[in-house]
């Protein structure tokens, strides 16, 4: 997917997994596509007004965080203790500035808190109560526990406890049980966005509620720069979704950039190698979206489906869910 003219571009994802059409009713499918379309619309509005790639990724992700359908923000899954603990990160490819929050509770839009960390803190990663205090001081919006509570997610937690498992939102290992919780199959519902703005700068951002039934303050790849999120104008912007532990130990987001920088891979070559070779060999369910400052983009996954979408200047919004034949 190549484009010589550097026009604005925005790509998003809402998670990967065993997402099969036969498990998805028409109403649910439409709901997912509507949220994906709205996220792209909001992000594109920023880019149309000559906003930054950083601002566009935040705008797109906030839409998905505000939806109950995705494992981020309002739709986040429960920990073993029945809490909602969220992670998010964002990175500016222009100067490598980054911000992230981990293990935060009650912040309506963790991606906005991550952006404030980038802009105002002098640090990159803040966690837990300290991150919440920082977000409060910088006027991020908070919601009570009830705002985040979903009966589907709560039922999912009970099933996970019964199996004594820790689920990646909808793990393929628990197909029969999880499919009873939510139509549409099994998905890893982290959300993300990558953008190229009219100035030629790129950015990446990712947000998640983590794993159902997670314990001990587990943190995945999403708030770790280089693992779940990375952006550098000289190479690419990447947002990942899948089994976070694999993304951490393979430093996946940065690995794509490194292959481009040091081995001179194209964006498509780098993405395909990481997803279809490296992570496939480790039997990791994985997906990512990536773009470069030349306007090339890649949406790649090794599962049955991935909630995804893209819009480029002068072109119509495109959204999809299932694996293309």
Active site residues: 190
**Angle at which helices 53-65 and 26-48 cross, to 10°:** 150
* Interatomic CA distance for residues 42 and 318, integer angstroms: 14
Tell which phi-psi region holds residue 128, choosing left (phi > 0), alpha (psi between -120 and 50) or beta.
left
* Interatomic CA distance for residues 2 and 88, integer angstroms: 29
Strands (E) across the chain are located at 9-18, 86-92, 98-104, 125-127, 186-188, 191-196, 202-208, 229-231, 237-242, 286-291, 297-301, 305-312, 318-322
Neighbours of 135 (CB within 10 A): 25
Strand 237-242: give its sheet, edge to edge.
229-231, 237-242, 286-291, 297-301
Rg of the Cα atoms in the chain: 18
- Strand 297-301 and strand 286-291: the pairing is antiparallel
Name the nearest CA neighbour of 194 among 93, 274, 284. 93
| Tokens at 31, concatenated | 């709901």
- Strand 202-208 and strand 86-92: the pairing is antiparallel
């Amino acid at each position: 997917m190549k484009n010589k003219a550097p026009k604005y571009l925005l790509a998003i994802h809402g998670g990967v997994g065993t997402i099969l059409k036969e498990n998805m009713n028409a109403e649910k499918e439409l709901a997912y596509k509507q949220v994906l379309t709205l996220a792209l619309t909001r992000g594109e509005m920023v880019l149309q007004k000559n906003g930054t790639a950083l601002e566009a990724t935040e705008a797109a992700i906030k839409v998905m965080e505000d939806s109950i359908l995705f494992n981020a923000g309002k739709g986040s899954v429960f920990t073993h203790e029945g809490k909602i603990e969220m992670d998010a990160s964002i990175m500016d490819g222009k100067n490598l500035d980054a911000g992230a929050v981990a293990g935060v509770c009650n912040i309506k839009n963790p991606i906005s808190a991550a952006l404030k960390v980038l802009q105002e803190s002098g640090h990159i990663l803040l966690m837990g109560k300290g991150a919440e205090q920082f977000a409060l001081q910088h006027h991020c919006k908070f919601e009570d526990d009830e705002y985040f509570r979903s009966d589907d997610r709560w039922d999912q937690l009970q099933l996970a406890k019964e199996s004594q498992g820790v689920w990646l939102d909808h793990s393929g290992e628990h197909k029969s049980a999880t499919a009873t919780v939510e139509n549409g199959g099994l998905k890893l519902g982290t959300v993300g966005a990558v953008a190229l703005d009219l100035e030629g700068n790129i950015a990446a951002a990712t947000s998640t509620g983590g794993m159902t039934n997670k314990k001990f303050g587990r943190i995945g790849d999403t708030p770790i720069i280089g693992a779940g999120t990375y952006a550098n104008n000289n190479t690419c912007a990447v947002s990942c979704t899948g089994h976070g532990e694999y993304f951490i130990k393979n430093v996946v987001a940065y690995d794509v950039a490194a292959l481009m920088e040091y081995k001179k891979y194209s964006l498509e070559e780098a993405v395909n190698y990481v997803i279809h070779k490296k992570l496939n060999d480790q039997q990791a369910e994985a997906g990512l979206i990536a773009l470069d400052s030349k306007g090339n983009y890649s949406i790649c996954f090794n599962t049955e489906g991935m909630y995804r979408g893209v819009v480029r200047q002068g072109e119509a919004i495109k959204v999809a869910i299932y694996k293309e034949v």
